[in-house]
Amino acid sequence: MQKNNYKTYWNVKTLVFMGLLVAMQLVLGRVLVLDLGPNRVTVSSVCTILAGLWLGPVAGGVCGLCADIIGCFIKGYAVNPLITVAAILWGVLPGLIKPMYIQKGKLGKTVGICISVVLTGAASSLVFTTAGLVLLLGYNFYAIMPGRLLQFVFMVPVYCILTCLLYFSPVTRLVVGSVASEELVKRAA
Residue 101 has phi, psi (to 5 degrees) of -130, 0
CATH, residue 63: 1.10.1760.20
Using alpha carbons, list the distances in angstroms from residue 27 to 22, 120, 177. Answer: 9, 22, 25
Assess whether pLDDT exceeds 60 at residue 188. no
At 69-94, the pLDDT tens digits run 999 998 888 999 999 999 999 999 99
6 within domain boundaries: no
186 within domain boundaries: no
pLDDT confidence of 32, banded at 50, 70, 90? confident
Is the backbone of residue 4 left (phi > 0), alpha (psi -120 to 50) or beta?
beta
56 within domain boundaries: yes
5 within domain boundaries: no
Assess whether pLDDT exceeds 50 at residue 101. yes
Assess whether pLDDT exceeds 60 at residue 46. yes
Average of per-residue pLDDT values in the chain? 88
The pLDDT, as a whole number, for residue 41 is: 84
Assess whether pLDDT exceeds 90 at residue 183. no
The pLDDT, as a whole number, for residue 173 is: 87
The pLDDT, as a whole number, for residue 69 is: 95
Percent of the chain beyond pLDDT 70?
88
Assess whether pLDDT exceeds 50 at residue 1. no
Spatial distance between the Cα atoms of 94 and 104, rounded to a whole number of angstroms: 16
Spatial distance between the Cα atoms of 54 and 176, rounded to a whole number of angstroms: 6
pLDDT confidence of 38, banded at 50, 70, 90? low
User: In 3-state terms, what secondary structure has residue 103?
Assistant: coil
At 143-168, the pLDDT tens digits run 999 989 999 999 999 999 999 999 99
183 within domain boundaries: no
110 within domain boundaries: yes
Assess whether pLDDT exceeds 70 at residue 121. yes
Helices assigned H by DSSP within the chain = 12-26, 45-55, 57-75, 81-97, 106-121, 130-131, 141-167, 170-188
187 within domain boundaries: no
Total tally of structural domains belonging to the chain: 1
184 within domain boundaries: no
The DSSP secondary-structure symbol of 17 reads H
pTM: 0.87
For residue 85, give its domain range: 12-178
